[in-house]
Amino acid sequence: MMDHAKIQEIEISLFLQALFLRHGYDFRDYAKASLKRRVLNIASAAKVDSVAELIPRLLHDRDYLAEVLAELSVPVTEMFRDPTVFKALRHTVLPRLATYPRFNIWQAGCATGEEVYSLAIMLEEEGLLDRAQIYATDINDNALQSAEDGIFPLRCLEEYQRNYQAAGGKAKFSDYYLANAGFFRIHERFRKKIVFAHHNLVSDGVFCEVQLILCRNVLIYFNNDLQRHVLKLFHDSLVRGGFLCLGTRESLRAVEAEKLFIPVNRDMMIFHKNGEAP
Amino acid sequence: MPSPAASHHSSVNRQAGQPRFQAAVIGCSAGGLEALKIVLGALPPNLDIAVIVVAHTAHDGDHLLPSLLGNICKLPVSEARERDPVEPGRIYVAPPNYHLLIEPNRGFALSVDERVCFVRPSIDVLFCSAADAYREQLIGLILTGANQDGALGLKAVKDAGGYTLAQDPSTAYADTMPKAAIETGAVDRVLPLDALAADILRACTLSVES
């Protein structure tokens, strides 16, 4: 007899197949354990007994897609998350960017934008913001809209302030936002330097040539094949000697990434494109 | 889609002399470090299951946990690394600020998904994924803690056919977590802190002989 867990596995696989065939979003090469959790969260939010019951809605209700993507794409981030990484970027990467008259930065999987604003603030402090064009992309349109608004809950402010200082912030964090009832809004001058765009790392190709890619804690959700695919995409997007920054606990061991990238600071997971001097 | 590794190891197909248990998952919160020292420190160097730990720790010293435990354990202790296979005879600790999960192929995975029960890493997240990966080959243990995390996870371990333990709340620094686990009705044995390691060992030994 087939047990419940096995049946649930079949249901999740069918759900992902339906999502792909109907809407073109392919989550089939995502790491299984955390994806299962999120699919079960969707089922629980819809108050259905089984994942299979979600499939008709996914196929026939056009508006349901956004809700599903919002849940599957995990928009969880914070400003200056892992402050030591931002410190390392400031000291290792930004001086290299300063050698370009103009440069492009791509944050892939920007979620609600906290990190890309952190980067923009740091660029301003190093006198580089005017020369930068920043692209921030995600597959979750709801998250992108929040990111573009640049509005964050006030309850996070204290933590962000701490992170900012730990990241070697040179001014007062309060120089960079306007506080309002329950929210704070990142200053306009940062928002207008960033282009927020829909981009799917699984299915979309190279869309610009960049000097720095930030993609932190996105690859942890992908299986080895998809990691390989995305790392190749990053490699193709970077200029000679361009930089890649991943999450500090991410692993590239399974995917022979050393052919594509060489560590600049392994603890901080900062790499440069292989084949050329940094 | 390949079937998960667990289905190749079901109890029906298990050969005589092959150990039933492959891994133990342990969760703790407030007061957890002292409790872990007692349980993990008493495990012998020849233990042939993997031990995977989620400890809620709210400060920046989290990454010190492997070295704090490493000093008093006879088994090697390390932070669980994404995509590494889970190996027997080792103690693994979840990295700070990431959920730790076990993939169906019994490798480690990380996520930065929302906090569960206000915490990341969450015991529920580890236990539920480990229950899927190991089915009846898993031991689950809930130690001291001041919240509800782990109760659902321990129930998942039990539902998958695993063996479940909770620290006797009267011996816990904070009794909320073991109490919540016990209240699910999914706990096989409730034992005082200093008897838990011996019971894990007993379960592992019995399962080889039977």
pLDDT in tens, B144-177: 999 999 999 999 999 999 999 999 999 999 999 9
The pLDDT of residue B208 is 67
Q: What is the mean pLDDT of residues A27-47?
A: 95
Q: What is the mean pLDDT of residues A1-29?
A: 93
3-state secondary structure of B83: coil
Lateral strand order in the sheet of A177-180 = A151-153, A183-186, A177-180
The pLDDT of residue B11 is 45
pLDDT above 60 for B2:
no
The pLDDT of residue B61 is 53
pLDDT above 90 for B77:
yes
CB contact under 8 A, B129 and A37: yes
Q: Which secondary-structure segment (H or E) carries B36?
A: helix B32-41
The pLDDT of residue B6 is 42
Residues 6+ apart with CB under 8 A from A63: none
The pLDDT of residue A277 is 41
Name the residue facing B83 among A34, A247, A253 (closest C-beta).
A253
The pLDDT of residue A215 is 97
Closest by alpha carbon to A37, among B208, B115, B1? B115
Question: Per residue in B113-143, pLDDT tens?
Answer: 988 888 999 999 999 999 999 999 999 999 9
Residue showing tokens 């932190």: A216
Residues of B in contact with A41 (CB under 8 A): none
The mean-pLDDT minimum among B20-24, B53-57, B187-191 falls in: B53-57
Question: Per residue in A90-140, pLDDT tens?
Answer: 999 999 999 999 999 999 999 999 999 999 999 999 999 999 999 999 999
pLDDT above 70 for A18:
yes
Distance between CA atoms of B164 and B167, rounded to whole angstroms? 10
Which chain B residue has the Cα nearest residue A75?
B113
pLDDT above 60 for A205:
yes
Residues 6+ apart with CB under 8 A from A62: none
Q: Which secondary-structure segment (H or E) carries B203?
A: helix B196-209
Residues 6+ apart with CB under 8 A from B176: B145, B146, B147, B148
Name the residue facing B82 among A36, A74, A249 (closest C-beta).
A249
Domain ranges of chain A: 4-73, 83-273
Residues of B in contact with A38 (CB under 8 A): 113
Residues of A in contact with B99 (CB under 8 A): 34
The pLDDT of residue B3 is 42
Name the residue facing A76 among B82, B110, B113 (closest C-beta).
B113
pLDDT above 70 for A258:
yes
From the CA of A70, how many Å to the nearest CA of chain B? 12
CB contact under 8 A, A249 and B102: no
Confidence band of A278 (pLDDT split at 50, 70, 90) = very low
The pLDDT of residue B58 is 55
Q: What is the mean pLDDT of residues B54-65?
A: 72
Evaluate whether B166 touches B190 at the Cβ level (below 8 Å).
yes
Residues of A in contact with B109 (CB under 8 A): 31, 33-34, 220
Confidence band of B1 (pLDDT split at 50, 70, 90) = very low
Q: What is the mean pLDDT of residues B72-84?
A: 96
Interface pTM (ipTM) of the complex? 0.92
Which chain A residue has the Cα nearest residue B83?
A251
Residues of B in contact with A249 (CB under 8 A): 81-82, 95, 98, 110
CB contact under 8 A, A37 and B113: yes
CB contact under 8 A, A31 and B103: yes
Residues of B at the A interface, defined by Cβ within 8 angstroms? 1, 4, 7, 81-84, 95, 98-99, 101-104, 109-114, 125, 128-129, 132-133, 135, 160
The two tokens of residue A225 are: 């094949």
Best of A162, A251, A256, A266 to disrupt the B interface by mutation (most B CBs within 10 Å)? Answer: A251
Confidence band of B15 (pLDDT split at 50, 70, 90) = low
The pLDDT of residue A33 is 96
The pLDDT of residue A58 is 96
Mean pLDDT across chain B: 90
Strand partners, B147: none
Question: Per residue in B89-114, pLDDT tens?
Answer: 999 999 999 999 999 999 999 999 98
pLDDT above 80 for A216:
yes
CB contact under 8 A, B101 and A33: yes
CA distances for B64 relative to B33, B60, B84, B91, angstroms: 11, 9, 20, 14
Distance between CA atoms of A138 and B155, rounded to whole angstroms? 36
Best of A220, A224, A253 to disrupt the B interface by mutation (most B CBs within 10 Å)? Answer: A220
Confidence band of B4 (pLDDT split at 50, 70, 90) = very low
From the CA of A259, how many Å to the nearest CA of chain B? 19
Q: What is the sign of the dihedral through the CA atoms of A232, A234, A239 and A242?
A: negative
Q: Where do runs of H (alpha helix) occur along chain A?
A: 4-23, 32-45, 54-60, 64-72, 83-88, 94-97, 114-125, 141-149, 157-166, 188-191, 224-237
Q: Where do runs of H (alpha helix) occur along A73-219?
A: 83-88, 94-97, 114-125, 141-149, 157-166, 188-191
Residues of A at the B interface, defined by Cβ within 8 angstroms? 5-6, 9, 13, 31-34, 36-38, 74, 76-77, 217, 220-221, 224, 247, 249-251, 253-254
Mean pLDDT across chain A: 93
The mean-pLDDT minimum among A161-165, B60-64, B73-77, B166-170 falls in: B60-64
The pLDDT of residue A5 is 86
Distance between CA atoms of A268 and A30, rounded to whole angstroms? 24
pLDDT above 70 for B185:
yes
Residues 6+ apart with CB under 8 A from B190: B165, B166, B167, B168, B169, B178, B182
The mean-pLDDT minimum among A73-77, A103-107, B47-51 falls in: A73-77
Phi and psi angles of residue B108, each rounded to the nearest 5 degrees, phi first: -80, 145
Catalytic site positions of B = 29, 56, 149
| DSSP label of B113 | P
CATH number for region A83-273: 3.40.50.150
